């Protein structure tokens, strides 16, 4: 390891910035004999081969393996084993299978030397692993039997696992779905991210209804799904100074060095041995550096440096769709990109190919702008360390990277102050300035004298201080840029990237509509539905779980009453499963005979949970106005919310507080509680989504048009036969194209109207009383304290009364109208079930397998390859 570094050499000019300490794991080059046959690498081949473990997956072998782990890995016995211990033993036993497949897959890649793709994402929202691994390995029934024999229930053990929640929401969950699809399609793809000690915070609800945040100690118990790689470490430098040499080169030295250590998580493909890797980096203090301080007698500084090194990967920033320039966040970004690129570089070098062939073996996808520092970092490696001339290096870099944009919201576009970058990463600041020169010269050539255009396109935004525009850097330094749904990609071309479209032509900017993995979001979360589909289509599950277009076969059964009955029974049992879950976790009783209306996603003004809660209050007031006889005709409804707000997002947190307090009043009102119930389920997570989604009749995706890039939970609901109330936004549009507009409840203004409306709100405001009286009534009831704490909600209400940037007053009437149509449609239950069946049947396009194939073919140029 690293304690052998001589402190005297630290910071000396010419020292390599990223030194390698890797006992090569996957960099093994097999030796061959004269005939070209691979030689056994060491010792007695027979002794090795007769001793190597195979995959015995009969029930007695599984039981033996679980009990073996109880005895040795956990040092426990039958009499003191609880559900947690049994879970851990089962997980370790499953992990053995994954490791053997992982080894074989990685050795296969090493031998075959295919081009590989790397998915760089600061977030991976993986959820739980055991159930998913069992399903992908095809071992669930056997483990179920074996675990019962040992006196436990598999369902109980599955509940013991903590979610790996290293992500905020959609972006991180997308990365997780993409890993599943890559492995399932036998594509050589690795993920790179950070191993945060604390994932997204745990959400608690205070007595007054507001959100509290607690740390998420997901590593409290051993995490059986990761392998620490003590021998895969890299040094990462911060601060110091960079001295320019000639030929655009420089020497970066001094400052602070920290260690990145790898943790590997195995990603099993579905019905294949192919098992890919998610490599997460943990930061550690570098011993050699500490030693120097100790020698200088500066004990305190040495201790401080070890604290700050560990801090880098301690916590995931809980912001979704906003950025604020915290130095530690920039440190995380560089730490992760530097370690990942050093690792990728080492693997490439093991191939023994000339550096000019780098893009023939490596494709790197940047998931949003968070990993954009990879662009200057790879330039630094090529130019400063590998002696590649600047222009040639730029060619290689721009042929290696691809960039996915996830939002056009202005507050989400990453910018970093130049002074901060200058101080933390002086060499990268120089490189960014040098890349700016490239931009200037190409723009100057194509648009001579167009200074305004140049100012917009520059990597540097003028101001005090100047800022670096990461989206511009990500665009300039990559081969292709994509948005995540058709509308969004079009908006990218028309707004934030317009000048770059003029410069490069439109072909650099395209679309890959997001997808979801049907393994987790159909088979795992809704086994009853997946069984019914298999039985009805007379197809093994593997057929439609690998080719989701096969669901179209359900269309011919949509009118079959016997099938409709079974379909409805599955939905009903999923509602009861959810009700049971809520009963045991929260002690609440849900009416399972009502329509379930669900909105679960991060809390954000653009997602308009406020519109939903105002709609609920409107429904409540309408019910109160009715006579008991009139109410009896109303279709009972349960409205469910879940979602976290960023800890510093005041208005979003106020929305949660309002929902919780409205729920208290409504659910206690004897006049209405049989017709309307409202729940806010705390601590939204992947695991909670897996229970909620299969139970929904209708779900809400009601962002202001043009603000939701794609959405993926809309796909999850529709795949599970839930219908959609939505605005004409993101992937809602493509879902409607597939399932037919008659099966979707659309409302609200369209994207082209939004800008004009906002302009009017700004310069010709009309009071809400005039513009939308029903909404005004709702706002006034809240103000007047009908749901408690009247004054508390004023800042939230004022966002609507004043600028109404997200246009609630413009969309409220058509929203209420859409909900009325939902009620009417639900009255004709047979017709509703048909819509539900047709929706599921047409969800083929939204498999993440399709999205990953698109990336593999149109972007990365990689091919499937698997061990025999």
Ligand X SMILES: *Cc1c(COP(=O)(O)O)cnc(C)c1O
Q: Which of 370, 508, 602, 608 is catalytic?
A: 602
- Chain position carrying tokens 């206690």: 668
Q: Which stretch binds ligand X (CB under 6 A): 459-467, 576-584, 678-686, 756-764?
A: 678-686
Site for ligand X in 536-565 (CB under 6 A): none
Burial class (CB in 10 A: 0-12, 13-18, 19+), 651: middle
Please, which residue, 275 or 712, has the CB nearer to ligand X?
A: 712
Q: Cβ of residue 642: shortest distance to ligand X, in angstroms?
A: 9
191 in contact with ligand X (CB under 6 A): no
Structure tokens at 303: 């201790």
Binding to ligand X, residues 254-293 (CB under 6 A): none
Q: How far is the CB of 611 from ligand X (least distance, A)?
A: 14
495 is catalytic: no
How near is the Cβ of 552 to ligand X at its closest, in Å?
24
Nearer to ligand X, 18 or 174 (CB): 174
Shortest Å distance, C-beta 483 to ligand X: 15
DSSP, residue by residue, 241-253: EEEE-STT-EEEE
- For the beta sheet containing 415-417, the strands, ordered from the edge strand earlier in sequence to the opposite edge, are 415-417, 467-469, 460-461
Out of 128, 347, 406, 546, pick the active-site residue.
406
CB of 821 to ligand X, least distance (A): 22
Phi, psi of 155 (to 5 degrees): -55, -40
User: Looking up tokens 């016995």, which residue turns up?
Assistant: 77
The pair of structure tokens assigned to 108 is: 């296969």
Name the burial class of residue 442, with classes exposed (0-12), middle (13-18) and buried (19+) by CB atoms within 10 angstroms of its CB: middle
CA distance 710 to 89: 39
Is residue 169 close enough to count as binding ligand X by CB under 6 A? Answer: yes
384 or 708: CB nearest ligand X: 708
The nearest distance, CB 570 to ligand X, in angstroms, is 21
Kindly tell me which of 125 and 205 has the beta carbon lying closer to ligand X.
Answer: 125
Whichever of 599 and 799 has its CB closer to ligand X, that residue is 599
- 527, two tokens: 């086994």
Q: Which is nearer to ligand X, 169 or 269 (CB)?
A: 169
* Candidates 369, 372, 712, 840; catalytic one: 712
Site for ligand X in 594-633 (CB under 6 A): 601
Active site residue 21: no
Tell me how far, at minimum, the Cβ of 721 lies from ligand X, in Å: 17
Of 679-698, binders to ligand X (CB under 6 A) are 684-686, 689
Backbone dihedral angles phi then psi of residue 617, each to the nearest 5 degrees: -65, -40
Least Å distance, CB 403 to ligand X, is: 21
Contact call for residue 173 and ligand X (CB under 6 A): yes
Using CB under 6 A, which residues numbered 495 to 534 contact ligand X? Answer: none
**Total residues binding ligand X (CB under 6 A):** 13
Across 560-598, b (16+ Cβ under 10 Å) vs e yields: eeebbebbbebbeebbebbbebbeeeeeeebbbebbbbb
Rounded to 10°, the helix 170-184/130-137 angle is 20
Pick from 5, 17, 147, 170 the residue near ligand X by CB under 6 A.
Answer: 170
Which residue of the set 108, 541, 546, 601 is catalytic? 601
- Catalytic: which of 716, 761, 835, 838? 716
Q: Classify 276 as helix, strand or coil.
A: strand
Active site residue 607: yes
Instruction: Sort strands 744-747 and 250-253 into parallel, antiparallel or unpaired.
Output: unpaired
The position carrying tokens 């662009």 is 375
Cis peptide before 465 (omega within 30 of 0): yes
* 88-127: contacts with ligand X (CB under 6 A): 125
How far is the C-alpha of 164 from the C-alpha of 128, rounded, in Å?
6
Q: Which of 321, 607, 618, 835 is catalytic?
A: 607
Q: Are strands 637-642 and 676-680 parallel, antiparallel or unpaired?
A: parallel
Q: Name which of 474 and 718 has its Cβ closer to ligand X.
A: 718
Least Å distance between CB 133 and ligand X? 18
User: How far, in Å, CA of 291 to CA of 283, rounded?
Assistant: 18
Beta bridge partners of 226: 265
842: annotated active-site residue: no
- Find the binding residues for ligand X in span 696-755 (CB under 6 A): 711-713, 716
Q: Tell the smallest beta-carbon distance from residue 632 to ligand X (Å).
A: 34
For tokens 């005004």, the residue is 776
Asked if 203 is part of the footprint of ligand X (rule: CB under 6 A), the reply reads no
Which residues make Cβ contacts (< 8 Å) with residue 314, sequence separation at least 6?
Answer: 196, 197, 198
Residue 359 or 711: the one with the smaller Cβ distance to ligand X is 711
Q: Which is nearer to ligand X, 17 or 699 (CB)?
A: 699
Classify 749 as helix, strand or coil. Answer: coil
* Exposure b/e, 40-76, CB count within 10 A at least 16 = b: eeeeeeeeeeeeeeeeeeeeeebbebbbebbeeebeb
DSSP H helical ranges for 258-353: 287-295, 299-311, 327-349
Find the part of the chain contacting ligand X (CB under 6 A) among 33-41, 102-110, 166-174, 324-332.
166-174
Give me the least distance between CB of 125 and ligand X, in Å please: 6
Compute the distance between CA of residue 843 and CA of residue 549 in angstroms, rounded to an integer. Answer: 7
In angstroms, the Cα distances linking 68 to 64, 98, 370 are 6, 17, 43
Query: 128 vs 601, which CB is nearer to ligand X?
Result: 601
CB 457 within 8 A of CB 443: yes
* Smallest gap from residue 699 Cβ to ligand X (A): 9
**Are β-strands 480-483 and 401-404 bridged in parallel, bridged antiparallel, or unpaired?**
parallel
Instruction: List, in order, residues 6 or more apart from 766 with CB less than 8 Å away.
Output: none
Q: Which residues touch 246 (CB under 8 Å, ≥6 apart)?
A: none
- In the complex with ligand X, which residue's Cβ is closer, 110 or 712? 712
Minimum CB–partner distance for residue 685 and ligand X (Å): 6
DSSP of 343-407? HHHHHHHTTT--GGGHHHHEEEEEESSTTTTHHHHHHHIIIIIS---HHHHHHHHHTTEEEE---
Residues in the chain: 868
Q: Which is nearer to ligand X, 575 or 701 (CB)?
A: 701
209/711 with CB nearer ligand X: 711
Which residues sit at the interface with ligand X, rule CB under 6 A? 125, 169-170, 173, 601, 684-686, 689, 711-713, 716
Catalytic residue numbers read: 406, 601-602, 607, 712, 716
């Amino acid at each position: 390891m690293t304690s052998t570094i001589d402190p005297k050499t630290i910071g000396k000019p010419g020292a390599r910035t990223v030194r390698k300490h890797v006992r090569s794991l996957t960099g093994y080059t097999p030796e061959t004999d004269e005939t070209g046959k691979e030689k056994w690498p060491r010792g007695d081949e027979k002794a090795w081969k007769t001793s190597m473990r195979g995959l015995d997956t009969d029930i007695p072998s599984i039981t033996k393996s679980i009990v073996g782990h109880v005895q040795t890995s956990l040092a426990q016995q039958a009499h003191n084993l609880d559900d947690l211990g049994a879970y851990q033993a089962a997980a370790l036993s499953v992990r053995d299978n994954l490791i053997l497949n992982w080894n074989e897959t990685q050795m296969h890649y090493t031998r075959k030397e295919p081009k590989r793709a790397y998915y760089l994402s600061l977030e991976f929202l993986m959820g739980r692993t055991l159930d998913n691994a069992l399903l992908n390995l095809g071992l669930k029934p056997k483990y179920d039997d074996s675990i019962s024999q040992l006196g436990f229930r598999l369902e109980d053990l599955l509940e013991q696992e903590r979610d790996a929640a290293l992500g905020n929401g959609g972006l991180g969950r997308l990365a997780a779905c993409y890993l599943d699809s890559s492995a399932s399609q036998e594509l050589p793809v690795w993920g790179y991210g950070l191993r945060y000690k604390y994932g997204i915070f745990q959400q608690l609800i205070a007595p007054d209804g507001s959100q509290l945040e607690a740390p998420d100690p997901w590593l409290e118990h051993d995490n059986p799904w990761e392998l620490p790689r003590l021998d895969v470490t890299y040094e990462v430098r911060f601060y110091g100074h960079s001295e320019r040499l000639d030929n655009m080169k420089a020497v970066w030295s001094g400052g602070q060095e920290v260690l990145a250590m790898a943790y590997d998580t195995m990603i099993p493909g579905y019905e294949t041995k192919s098992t890919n890797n998610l490599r997460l980096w943990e930061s550690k203090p570098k011993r050699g550096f500490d030693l120097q301080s100790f020698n200088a007698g500066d004990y305190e500084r040495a201790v401080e440096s070890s604290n700050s090194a560990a801090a880098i990967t301690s916590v995931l920033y809980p912001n979704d769709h906003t950025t604020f320039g915290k130095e530690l966040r920039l440190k995380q970004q560089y730490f992760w990109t530097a370690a990942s690129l050093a690792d990728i570089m080492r693997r490439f070098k093991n191939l023994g190919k000339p550096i000019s062939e780098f893009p023939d073996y490596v494709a790197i996808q940047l998931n949003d702008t968070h990993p954009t520092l990879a662009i200057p970092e790879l330039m630094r490696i090529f130019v400063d360390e590998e002696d590649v001339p600047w222009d040639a290096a730029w060619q290689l870099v721009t042929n290696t990277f691809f960039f996915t944009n996830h939002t056009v919201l202005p507050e989400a576009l990453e910018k970093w102050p130049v002074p901060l970058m200058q101080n933390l990463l002086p060499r990268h600041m120089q490189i960014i300035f040098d890349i700016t020169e490239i931009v200037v010269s190409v723009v100057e050539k194509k648009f001579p004298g167009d200074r305004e255009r140049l100012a917009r396109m520059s990597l540097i935004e003028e101001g005090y201080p100047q800022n670096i525009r990461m989206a511009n850097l990500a665009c300039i330094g990559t081969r292709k840029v994509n948005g995540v749904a058709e509308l969004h990609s079009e908006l990218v071309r028309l707004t934030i990237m317009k000048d770059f479209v003029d410069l490069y032509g439109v072909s650099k900017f395209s679309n890959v509509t997001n997808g979801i993995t049907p393994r987790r979001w159909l088979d795992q979360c809704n086994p009853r539905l997946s069984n019914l589909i298999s039985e009805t289509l007379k197809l093994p599950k593997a057929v439609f779980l690998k080719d989701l277009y096969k669901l179209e076969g359900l269309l011919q059964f949509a009118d079959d009453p016997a099938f409709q009955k079974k379909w409805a029974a599955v939905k009903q049992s999923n509602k009861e499963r959810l009700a049971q879950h809520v009963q045991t976790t929260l002690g609440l009783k849900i009416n399972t005979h009502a329509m379930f209306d669900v909105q679960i996603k991060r809390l954000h003004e653009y997602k308009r949970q406020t519109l939903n809660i105002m709609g609920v209050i409107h429904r409540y007031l309408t019910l109160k106005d009715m006579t008991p006889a009139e109410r009896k005709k109303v279709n009972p409804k349960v409205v469910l919310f879940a979602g976290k707000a960023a800890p510093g997002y005041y208005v979003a947190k106020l929305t949660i507080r309002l929902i919780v307090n409205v729920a208290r009043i409504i659910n206690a009102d004897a006049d209405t509680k049989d017709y309307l119930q409202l729940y806010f389920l705390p601590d939204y997570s992947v695991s909670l989504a897996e229970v909620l989604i299969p139970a929904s009749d209708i779900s809400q995706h009601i962002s202001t048009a043009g603000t939701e890039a794609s959405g993926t939970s809309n796909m999850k609901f529709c795949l599970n036969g839930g219908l959609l109330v939505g605005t004409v936004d993101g992937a809602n549009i493509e879902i409607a194209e597939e399932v037919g507009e008659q099966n979707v409840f659309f409302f609200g203004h369209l994207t082209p109207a939004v800008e004009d409306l906002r302009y009017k709100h700004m310069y010709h405001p009309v009071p809400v009383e005039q513009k939308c009286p029903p909404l005004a009534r709702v706002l006034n009831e809240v103000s007047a304290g009908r749901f408690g704490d009247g004054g508390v909600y004023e800042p939230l209400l004022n966002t609507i009364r004043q600028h109404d940037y997200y246009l609630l007053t413009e969309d409220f009437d058509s929203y209420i109208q859409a909900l009325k149509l939902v009620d009417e449609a639900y009255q004709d239950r047979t017709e509703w079930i048909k819509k539900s069946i047709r929706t599921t049947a047409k969800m083929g396009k939204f498999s993440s397998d399709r999205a990953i194939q698109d990336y593999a073919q149109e972007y990365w140029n990689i091919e499937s390859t698997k061990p025999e």
